[in-house]
């Protein structure tokens, strides 16, 4: 037992001695490190500046990495977060960073929600629709925007179709003056600027409808082709779609105007009242355009009916005039003896009688003002 303990002790001692030798060989001397650091410090002017680049956050879906579609602007102790076409990753990010109601998170992923405003604890959830004209399909569709208004943040969620919102976000991110104009006050004011830009975006569409109505008004009396019917149908469809989109926004904007949530609500009431006036102007214009397109459609139907009646009247007169002529020519075409049928000048006599009959009928129709 004593011999084994001595051998073990000797082995451990030798092992430690060899380890110290190896570490002493591998570790550089302190003066060498000092010289190396001094050399690097003297060569700093030869090393280029390295800028750190931040990659966008990504999430893994299957085997592909997709960028997280979350953009943020921070200014004046406030954040504006813009999300386009949210998916599961964006919903997870919102759930992790905010205490939003799960029903509201579910609403932003649904195909199309009815415009509304929900007051939930420490934030407002606003759903609005705005018209977007698709040039290829020649139809006006609704584009939805979901807004979360909190004490120090604004979250906007869209499907990417609202170009004015995308342009405003880019300008706020790249232009300090624009950023201060949007985010320089309160989140409520930022929401006002966002909605105001989207409401103003409706006026070019309204003006376009007015131009089409004027063109159609002139075209109705100068053309009788089927293109007029198609133009009337497309324009009526656009007006109906515009009305269907704008009408629910009136009550939502009015409700937002009277919400009292922040200390600056009295000042914001005037701003939201201005938006409400713009929405009312748009609705009044749509009401007027609806009456105009219905009048133009009725006018075109009357003109078409009148043209059709003229054609039918002309054809009817021709048919009536040919009826006695056909009767006379049919009688003399029979193989029986008739007056003057044996005379050599019978053909000219019958022709003269037919002309007299036709002329008499024309005089009669004109006297009755049928021609």
Domain check: are 98 and 212 in the same one? yes
Specify the pLDDT at position 341.
Answer: 66
What is the pLDDT averaged over residues 253-281?
Answer: 77
51 occurs within a structural domain: no
Could you read off the pLDDT of 11-48 as tens digits, one per residue?
Answer: 344 443 444 443 444 444 434 334 434 443 343 333 33
Please check the confidence at residue 169 and state whether its pLDDT lies above 90. Answer: yes
Specify the pLDDT at position 243.
Answer: 94
CA–CA gap between residue 151 and residue 301 (Å, rounded): 57
Domain end (from 281, 303, 325):
303
CATH at 191 = 3.30.460.20
Taking the C-alpha atoms of 358, 360, 366 and 371 in order, what is their torsion angle to the nearest 10 degrees? -10
What is the pLDDT averaged over residues 344-370?
Answer: 80
Specify the pLDDT at position 81.
Answer: 94
Domain check: are 177 and 264 in the same one? yes
62 occurs within a structural domain: yes
Q: Among 305, 307, 247, 257, which Cα is nearest to 279's?
A: 247
Residue 79 pairs in a beta bridge with 74, 153
240 backbone φψ class: left, alpha, beta (φ>0; ψ -120 to 50): alpha
Specify the pLDDT at position 340.
Answer: 67
Domain check: are 92 and 201 in the same one? yes
Domain check: are 297 and 316 in the same one? no
Domain check: are 42 and 62 in the same one? no
Domain check: are 185 and 100 in the same one? yes
When comparing pLDDT for 238 and 257, which is higher? 238
Domain check: are 290 and 322 in the same one? no
Task: Give the pLDDT band (50/70/90) at residue 60.
Answer: very low
Domain check: are 150 and 240 in the same one? yes
Specify the pLDDT at position 260.
Answer: 58
Domain check: are 120 and 203 in the same one? yes
**Which residue range is the domain that position 337 belongs to?**
311-367
129 occurs within a structural domain: yes
Counted domains in the chain = 3
**Lowest-confidence region among 65-69, 340-344, 349-353:** 340-344
Helix count and strand count (H, E) for the chain: 11, 8
Domain end (from 303, 338, 356):
303
Residue with tokens 């704008």: 246
Please check the confidence at residue 227 and state whether its pLDDT lies above 50. Answer: yes
Specify the pLDDT at position 275.
Answer: 92
Expressed in percent and rounded to 5, the helix, strand and coil fractions of the chain are: 60, 15, 25
Please check the confidence at residue 258 and state whether its pLDDT lies above 90. Answer: no
Q: Among 162, 178, 181, which Cα is nearest to 170's?
A: 178
> Whole-model pTM?
0.69
Domain check: are 233 and 329 in the same one? no
Domain check: are 72 and 11 in the same one? no
Domain check: are 167 and 111 in the same one? yes
Specify the pLDDT at position 13.
Answer: 43
When comparing pLDDT for 129 and 332, which is higher? 129
Task: Give the pLDDT band (50/70/90) at residue 63.
Answer: very low
Which tokens in the block code for residue 70? 């979350």
53 occurs within a structural domain: no
Could you read off the pLDDT of 180-219 as tens digits, one per residue?
Answer: 999 988 898 999 999 999 999 999 999 999 999 999 988 8
Specify the pLDDT at position 270.
Answer: 83
* DSSP code, position 57: P
């Amino acid at each position: 037992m004593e011999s084994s303990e001595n051998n073990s002790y000797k082995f451990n001692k030798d092992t430690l001695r060899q380890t110290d030798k190896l570490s002493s060989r591998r570790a550089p001397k302190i003066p060498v490190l000092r010289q190396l650091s001094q050399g690097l410090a003297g060569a700093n002017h030869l090393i280029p500046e390295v800028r750190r680049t931040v990659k966008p956050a990504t999430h893994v879906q299957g085997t592909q990495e997709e960028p997280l579609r979350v953009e943020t602007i921070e200014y004046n102790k406030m954040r504006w977060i813009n999300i386009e076409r949210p998916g599961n990753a964006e919903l997870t990010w919102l759930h992790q960073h905010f205490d939003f109601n799960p029903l509201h998170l579910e609403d932003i992923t649904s195909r199309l929600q009815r415009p509304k405003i929900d007051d939930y604890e420490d934030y407002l959830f606003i759903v609005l629709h705005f018209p977007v004209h698709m040039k290829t399909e020649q139809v006006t569709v609704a584009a939805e925007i979901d807004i979360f208004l909190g004490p120090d943040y604004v979250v906007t969620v869209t499907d990417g179709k609202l170009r004015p919102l995308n342009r405003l976000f880019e300008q706020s991110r790249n232009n300090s003056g624009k950023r201060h104009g949007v985010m320089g006050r309160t989140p409520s004011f930022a929401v006002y600027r966002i909605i105001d830009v989207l409401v103003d975006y409706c006026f070019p569409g309204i003006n376009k409808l007015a131009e089409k109505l004027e063109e159609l008004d002139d075209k109705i009396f100068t053309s009788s082709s089927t293109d007029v019917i198609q133009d009337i149908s497309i324009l009526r469809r656009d007006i109906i779609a515009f009305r269907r989109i704008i009408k629910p926004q009136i009550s939502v904007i009015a409700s937002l105007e009277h919400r009292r949530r922040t200390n600056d609500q009295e000042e914001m009431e005037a701003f939201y009242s201005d938006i409400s006036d713009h929405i009312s102007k748009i609705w009044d214009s749509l009401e007027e355009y609806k009456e105009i397109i219905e009048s133009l459609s009725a006018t075109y139907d009357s003109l078409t009916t009148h043209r059709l009646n003229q054609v039918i009247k002309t054809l009817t007169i021709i048919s009536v005039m040919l009826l006695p002529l056909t009767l006379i020519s049919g009688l003399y075409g029979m193989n029986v003896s008739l007056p003057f049928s044996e005379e050599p000048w019978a053909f000219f006599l019958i022709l003269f009688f037919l002309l007299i009959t036709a002329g008499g009928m024309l005089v009669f129709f004109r006297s009755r003002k049928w021609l």
